[in-house]
Structure 1
Amino acid sequence: MDFKTFLQAGNSRRAMLKGMGVAAVGFSLTGALAGCGEKEAKKLANGEEAKLNFYNWDTYIGETTLEDYKDSSGVDVNMTLFASNDELFAKLRAGNQGYDVIVPSNDFVERMAAADMLMPLDQAQIPNFKNVAKDYQDVPYDPARKYSMPYTWLALGIGYRKSKVNGVPDSWKVLFDSDEYKGRIAVLSEAGDMFRLYGKYMGKSVNGLTDDDLKAIEAMMIKQKPNIKSFHEDNGQDLLLKGEVDLVLEYNGDIAQAMVEDSDIGFIIPKEGGQLNSDNLCIPKGAPHPKNAHAFINYLLDAEAGKKITETILYPTPNDAAKALMPDAYKNNTVIFPPADVLAKCEYAKFNPELQPKYEEAFTRVRAA
């Protein structure tokens, strides 16, 4: 079975979400506990009410994951969506509004931990941690996985409509420093990622930018802004599919999905290299249901549950047990798992407490220009 056949055997993420009646602001799965009366459904054996509030990225969960979890645990999951790490951080920085599990990227795990916004995990309550690949069990941004569990890893690159571009757009230049595709480009709305990728285009490390670099990048962004149609809110693949843009800065998993729906779409990590991210499962300080949160994270790390998530979202999984259940069409796909020589030119971003506010301030000026 080839990759396209494998995927077309199931629903796309957009079709799945549409079928579930998902609104842009999120959705909830609620109702009485199956087989129990109302009074019995209010409390679980752990003493917590049978609820969990999940703050997640759009189109980033398995087709039946939340329903399956409710069937197995009796817990109703209310999932709401955020569009960027900046939005997630700002929302939680103002105080936990009732979230139990959140999904920040690697540099924001580091940032939120430093700001005392995350609850240390009790790994005894997460036995499925054993399913995680060794490379993801102890990571620089969260040594010994004190605050996070890995959910996916991902690579930023360029999604493009083959029939609308001149050859393969293999340089960040087409997005960052050219009017060749004026009005047909969408880029990210997240400040740090944008500045770091401009740095890559300039031949810098994503973790090696200086104040002078930031000034130069800000000027480049303002110059390029008339050529940008939108700074997208985690929906770049949809803009590409709808024909609203022809090139988009987006994650490999999102474009892998779009490629199944439209054979005219391609993906490339530019020759200058790119940025790798890892999205993670965390429990924010003040979570109202911490025991449920641990149990939910453990469930997401289950091999079969992880397989169903991966089949839907099409991101590289750090869950070895789940990956082992996936077909070769997934494991050998070079969009989802870029070749070693391509990955060698990519880097994970580190949280820089000095530069992060500068990224945000400069990007605000760019957006307002």
Structure 2
Amino acid sequence: MTQKSYASALGTVRRHAFIAVMTGTMLASWSAGVHAADQLNIYNWGEYINPEVLKKFEDETKIKVNLATYSSNEEMLAKIQGGATGYDIVFPSVHMQDIMAKLDLLQKTDINQYEGFKNIDPSFLRTKSDTKGEYCLPYAWGSVGIMYNRKILGKDITGWHDLLATVKEKKLKFTLLDDMREVLAVGLILNGNTINSTDPKQLQQSADTIIAMKPQVAAFTYDSRPLVQSGDVAAAHFFVGSMVDVFGNQKDLGYVIPEEGATMYQEDMCVLKSAPNKDNAVKFMQFYTRPEVAALNVSQQTNGTPNVPARALTPDRIKNSTEINPTAETMKRLQIFEDLGANLRQVDRVWTRVKTAQ
């Protein structure tokens, strides 16, 4: 598929991200001609890397790390396609990595030939475009489940049906992510369908399921963790990273991977073909294969890591958490998003129906 047609297939979500990004401030200090050989420019999700990891890399290599952040795959892609220059490393989700590969945006790094790559669990080579790890390094992963306040609910919950019954009975509210595919995935799972379905009937059925929830939905938002902590809402559709809050208040807070099933995410570390500091970018990828480095990141992030020996180096609360490190049986209930290509348009139309329904 050509770059033009592929970009079109990303739909309204990406167009909105593009408008938001292009009205923001461009990183002038990263413009052409300013880059020094001792710099590395990382573009990552907000709060998705431990600052101590960056400091350790700087201390060891004397390479100055500049960090910029984004809030969605679509925002990141829109900015890069919109002409932003200077970024070296990005962290796309698996399906976005496949999109970026088709758009010829990623640099081959041969990271799989580096000795430290032996630490990576081969099951995390999930992309269709990079099955051997010749381009990107598996970075972090986790589930998307339900963070909840057991003090408000009066109980622990097991999944979506349990949550819905409880909030209806007690006249409580919960939040859903402001994320098209994540929310529709909940509806698809509850109706026994794959999260990557593009069947019109199944998508409409998913929309009906989510719309039926809306009287109990306080908001579609990413900013829900403080609301659950304060008890303003009983629960939130959220990422396993919320375990950082659960560890801080285990008496009142919990996180569950729904018994009905859930999505999982995985981000990979990739070097852009346009990167001005490719050598430094590869050095950082090699640095991150070290178990103690990956463990340092996970200890602050409370995500899972594809780096097998790193898992044993994490604090006990993380190492022993079945929410962060699910059992093999639970893993069977997790699904990961795939690139839908042009079919993303019909998903976007269904999402618009969900958001506008009264």
Same fold per superposition (TM over 0.5): yes
User: How many angstroms apart in 1 are the aligned matches of 2:76 and 2:161?
Assistant: 30
Of stretches 284-293 and 101-110 in structure 1, the one that deviates more from structure 2 is: 284-293
Residue 189 (structure 2) aligns with: 200
Q: In 2 relative to 1, CA 331–112 (structure 1 residues): closer, same or farther, beyond 3 Å?
A: same
Residue 89 (structure 1) aligned to one of 69, 77, 81: 77
Check if 1:186 corresponds to 2:157: no
Q: Does 1:270 pair with 2:258?
A: yes
Q: 1:295 aligns with which of 283, 294, 302?
A: 283
1:311 counterpart residue number: 299
Structure 2 CA distance for partners of 1:231 and 1:200, relative to 1, 3 Å: same
Corresponding residue number in structure 1 for 2:12: none
Q: 2:268: which partner in 1?
A: 280
Question: How far, CA to CA, are the matches of 2:103 and 2:160 in structure 1?
Answer: 33
- Within the candidate set 253, 256, 271, 2:243 is matched to 256
Compared CA separation, residues 367 and 208, structure 1 to 2 (3 A): closer
Quickly say closer, same or farther: Cα 1:137–1:206, change in 2 above 3 A: closer
TM superposition outliers: structure 1 runs of 4+ over 6 Å = 174-179
Query: Separation in 2 of the partners of 1:368 and 1:115?
Result: 32
Q: Hey, what's the Cα distance between the residues in 1 that align with 2:88 and 2:153? A: 44
> Aligned to 2:105, what secondary structure does the other structure show?
coil
1:326 aligns with 2:314: yes
Cα drift, residue 319 of structure 1 = 0.6
Aligned ranges 1:144-223 → 2 under 5 Å = 144-173=132-161, 180=168, 184-223=173-212
Find the residue that maps to 1:189 and give its secondary structure.
Answer: coil
Indicate how the Cα distance of structure 1 residues 335 and 189 shifts in structure 2: closer, same or farther if over 3 A, else same.
Answer: same
Q: 1:74 aligns with which of 34, 48, 62?
A: 62
- What does residue 16 of structure 1 align with? none
* Partner residue in 2 for 1:341: 329
Size of the aligned set, in residue pairs, is 326
Relative to structure 1, is the Cα distance of residues 364 and 132 closer, same or farther in structure 2, using a 3 angstrom cutoff? same
**Structure 2 Cα separation of the partners of residues 281 and 182 of structure 1:** 43
Separation in 2, partners of 1:84, 1:308: 24
- What is the match of residue 115 of structure 1? 103
**SS at 1:170's partner residue?**
coil
The DSSP-based 3-state class of the residue aligned with 1:111 is helix
* Backbone CA RMSD of aligned residues: 2.9
Query: Can you list the C-alpha shifts for 1:88-131, whole angstroms capped at 9, x where unaligned?
Result: 23333323432211111111112221222322223278542222
Q: Choose from 95, 103, 109 the match for 2:91.
A: 103
> Which stretch shows the higher mean deviation, 168-177 or 151-160?
168-177
Separation in structure 2 between the aligned mates of residue 212 and residue 178 of structure 1, nearest angstrom:
29
1:145 alignment partner, SS class: coil
Q: Quick check: 1:352 aligned with 2:324?
A: no
Closer/same/farther in 2, CA of residues 236 and 127 from structure 1, 3 Å limit = farther
| TM-score, normalising length: structure 2 | 0.81
Residue identity in the other structure for 1:332: N
Structure with the higher helix share, 1 or 2: 2
Once residues 196 and 255 of structure 2 are traced to their aligned partners in structure 1, the CA distance between those partners, rounded to angstroms, is 24
Structure 1 residue aligned with 2:52: 64
* Change in CA separation of 1:129 and 1:193 when aligned onto 2, cut-off 3 Å: same
> 1:364 Cα shift?
3.7
> How far 1:256 moved relative to its partner?
1.4
Q: Deviations over 1:246-298 (max 9, x none)?
A: 2111122x121111111211111112111122111112231222221111122
Aligned equivalents of 2:268, 2:333: Cα separation in 1 = 23
Question: The residue matched to 2:74 in structure 1 has which SS?
Answer: helix
| Aligned pair partner of 1:225 in 214, 219, 228 | 214
Distance 1:79 1:182 in 2: 43
Relative to 1, partners in 2 of residues 1:270 and 1:306: Cα closer, same or farther, differing over 3 Å? same
